[in-house]
A and B are shown apart, each in its own frame.
Chain A
Amino acid sequence: MAIAEQNTIPLAAPTFSDNNIVEVKGVSKFYEPDIQALLDINLGFPKGQMTTLLGPSGCGKTTLLKIIAGLLEPTEGDVFVNGQLVTGPGPERAFVFQDFALMPWATVLRNVSFGLELRGMAKDERYEIARRYITNVGLEGFGEKYPHELSGGMRQRVGLARAMAVDADVLMMDEPFSAVDEQTRRQFQEDLLNLLSIEKKTVLFVTHSIEEAVYVSDQIVLLSPRPGRINKTVRPDIDHAASSDEIRRGKNYLDSVEEIWHELKGYLE
């Protein structure tokens, strides 16, 4: 029954406009001829906004993010960033990994400056930039520490600082908070929003937490389970100037959570 109901919901119309920094056109991904991870995804990511890809495990949200990052190739379709066709990773995109992906043999400072190191920037210059971002993410004084000396939440701050340090327009975050505990996660969400209000990045965010998606996003794209399709787009319309408690008790927040939950319930059997 749930499946039939789904099919009656019209797919979200692609919202292509000049305002979109990332555009996904007709992207499908098959792993084997008969294993479809994604099917005909058409999606626009508005510049300067935070768009979340939300859906149950196995709906292909990470796959879609990695295709946009240029780390995976789509079987069909194209991705454009700033109007340019994506053929691989690019300097205008930076990725924050679910498992942090920090080099255990490198200090926080070297990890954060790693993207700049790969570009061949001189040591003094890249370390200066890295120090600024280490301070921005709240890790001042931890530059000489090694990842194993940090907590999970702090490690992900390093991952965020590394992505910020390369000054990309688009920040892609793959379930960045899934490996940290709940209170760290909430603190991190607030910090991220504060940081983004200063840095003005476009963020592509992947999560399976409805509350997290509604709390941080301007736009939420709901993906259905395998094959992943766009099922619905929700704009929570939350005033991020309000305090965290006000937001979480606000009508828009609660309505959006309810609406999304209602939608996702349809996937359960």
Chain B
Amino acid sequence: MSSPSASVATPIASPSFRISQITIWRVLSLILLFGAWEIAGRVPISIAFPTFFETMSSLGTMIIDGRMAKAYAKTLEPLVIGIGLSTAFGIIFGVLMGLSRKFQWIGEPIFIVMQAAPMAALIPLVTFLYGIGVAAKVVAVVILAAPIIVLNCFRAVRNASPSLIQMCQSFQGSQIQVIRKVIIPDAAPMMFSGLRLGVAAGFIGVILAELLITPNGVGDLITYHRSVAEYADMYAAIFSIVFFAAVTVGLLEKAEVTIFRPEKKGAA
């Protein structure tokens, strides 16, 4: 055969150039945000609102004196267990719901109600059932994270390309091969976006539990420093958890691209 008549468009800039450009814009976005924070703190808009640099120096102190490590040790335990359970359960049940109508009919009403309802309102109730220990916090994480993960996995699998499934069948792919080689990779982007939302919801769950159930961990750092009017320390704790959540969610995105969707590498 002759060579194809259509040619591939040559990229205007090399990938490395593009990536460094993207980095510049991203750093600029952070500088704008933190700059606004610094200015707002200096004005000041409230005596309870420290500047960015005050907050960062508090953060440094709290990391060095070990308060952060202690708080995170407390917070991470229920968070990791809760996210782990939600992910395992969410993916398995969500995929089953996507593959089988019966599982869909059983699961869909429950999880849609759970997703729509303000589950945070149930957290005080959790205390009645599970007390004030780690179990209650794990439950708080799970009830917030699991419905999102389940429903996204379900929709992702259900919306897997019928054309690709038929393609796999036409080459005599077995049911297992269709699921493993076509449906799961095709559903991966949406499953991962569910996972990211689920993990973000899990963070909400664990902090809510620490504010409402047992005052310890990062939630307690926030409450305590507010009560003694050490606002820089309070904001440092808030900043740390936001930063930690953002990094976790970002790492999930990296994992998705590396494991399932290599074609998106460099596309940013």
Over the window 94-130 of chain A, the binary record of Cβ atoms lying under 8 Å from chain B Cβ atoms (1 yes, 0 no) is 1101010101111000000011011100000000000
Q: Which 9 A/B pairs are nearest by Cβ-Cβ distance?
A: A151-B6, A138-B1, A101-B167, A146-B263, A115-B171, A191-B1, A95-B170, A118-B173, A101-B163
The stretch of B52-60, B115-123, B125-133, B177-185 in contact with A is: B177-185
Chain B CB within 8 A of A6 CB = no
Shortest distance from the beta carbon of B50 to any chain A beta carbon, whole Å: 46
A101 touches B164 (CB 8 A): yes
The one of A95, A151, A183 that contacts B8, using a Cβ cutoff of 8 Å: A151
For residue A95, which residue of chain B has the nearest CB?
B170
Which B121-179 residues have a C-beta within 8 angstroms of A? 161, 163-164, 166-174, 177
Over the window 201-231 of chain B, the binary record of Cβ atoms lying under 8 Å from chain A Cβ atoms (1 yes, 0 no) is 0000000000000000000000000000000
A103 touches B8 (CB 8 A): no
Chain A contacts of B2 at CB under 8 A? 138, 187, 191
The count of A-to-B residue pairs whose CB atoms sit within 8 angstroms is 94
Shortest distance from the beta carbon of A92 to any chain B beta carbon, whole Å: 11
Chain B CB within 8 A of A56 CB = no
When chains A and B are docked, how far (Å) is the Cα of A26 from the Cα of B15?
58
B1 touches A195 (CB 8 A): yes
Shortest distance from the beta carbon of B189 to any chain A beta carbon, whole Å: 9
Count of B residues near A, CB < 8 Å?
30
A89 touches B1 (CB 8 A): no
B166 touches A71 (CB 8 A): yes
B4 touches A154 (CB 8 A): yes
Chain A contacts of B186 at CB under 8 A? 103, 105
For residue B263, which residue of chain A has the nearest CB?
A146
Which A78-103 residues have a C-beta within 8 angstroms of B? 88-91, 93-95, 97, 99, 101, 103
B5 touches A184 (CB 8 A): yes
Chain A contacts of B177 at CB under 8 A? 118
Chain A contacts of B4 at CB under 8 A? 138-139, 151, 153-154, 157, 184, 187
When chains A and B are docked, how far (Å) is the Cα of A158 from the Cα of B64?
58
Chain A contacts of B166 at CB under 8 A? 71, 97, 101
Shortest distance from the beta carbon of A46 to any chain B beta carbon, whole Å: 23
Chain A contacts of B243 at CB under 8 A? none
Chain A CB within 8 A of B261 CB = yes
For residue A162, which residue of chain B has the nearest CB?
B171
When chains A and B are docked, how far (Å) is the Cα of A95 from the Cα of B164?
12
- Residue of B172, B181, B261 most packed against chain A (CB within 10 A): B172
B170 touches A69 (CB 8 A): yes
Chain A contacts of B262 at CB under 8 A? 105, 146
Count of A residues near B, CB < 8 Å?
45
The one of B3, B163, B172, B261 that contacts A105, using a Cβ cutoff of 8 Å: B261
Which A175-200 residues have a C-beta within 8 angstroms of B? 183-184, 187, 191, 194-195
A105 touches B263 (CB 8 A): yes
Can you list 13 A-B pairs with a CB-CB distance of less than 8 A?
A: A95-B167, A95-B170, A97-B166, A97-B167, A101-B167, A103-B164, A103-B182, A103-B185, A118-B174, A139-B4, A146-B262, A153-B5, A154-B8
A89 touches B170 (CB 8 A): yes
Chain A CB within 8 A of B260 CB = yes
When chains A and B are docked, how far (Å) is the Cα of A115 from the Cα of B177?
11
Binding site for B on A (CB under 8 A): 69-71, 88-91, 93-95, 97, 99, 101, 103-106, 114-115, 117-119, 136-140, 145-154, 157, 166, 183-184, 187, 191, 194-195
Chain B contacts of A88 at CB under 8 A? 172
When chains A and B are docked, how far (Å) is the Cα of A220 from the Cα of B161?
32
A89 touches B8 (CB 8 A): no
Chain B contacts of A150 at CB under 8 A? 8
A89 touches B172 (CB 8 A): yes
Shortest distance from the beta carbon of A103 to any chain B beta carbon, whole Å: 6
Chain B contacts of A105 at CB under 8 A? 185-186, 188, 260-263
When chains A and B are docked, how far (Å) is the Cα of A101 from the Cα of B229?
61
Shortest distance from the beta carbon of A124 to any chain B beta carbon, whole Å: 19
When chains A and B are docked, how far (Å) is the Cα of A151 from the Cα of B5?
10
- Residue of A104, A150, A153, A183 most packed against chain B (CB within 10 A): A104
When chains A and B are docked, how far (Å) is the Cα of A136 from the Cα of B4?
11
A153 touches B169 (CB 8 A): no
A119 touches B263 (CB 8 A): no
When chains A and B are docked, how far (Å) is the Cα of A183 from the Cα of B4?
11
When chains A and B are docked, how far (Å) is the Cα of A69 from the Cα of B173?
14
A89 touches B171 (CB 8 A): yes
Chain B contacts of A104 at CB under 8 A? 261, 263
Chain B contacts of A194 at CB under 8 A? 1
For residue A152, which residue of chain B has the nearest CB?
B6
For residue B170, which residue of chain A has the nearest CB?
A95
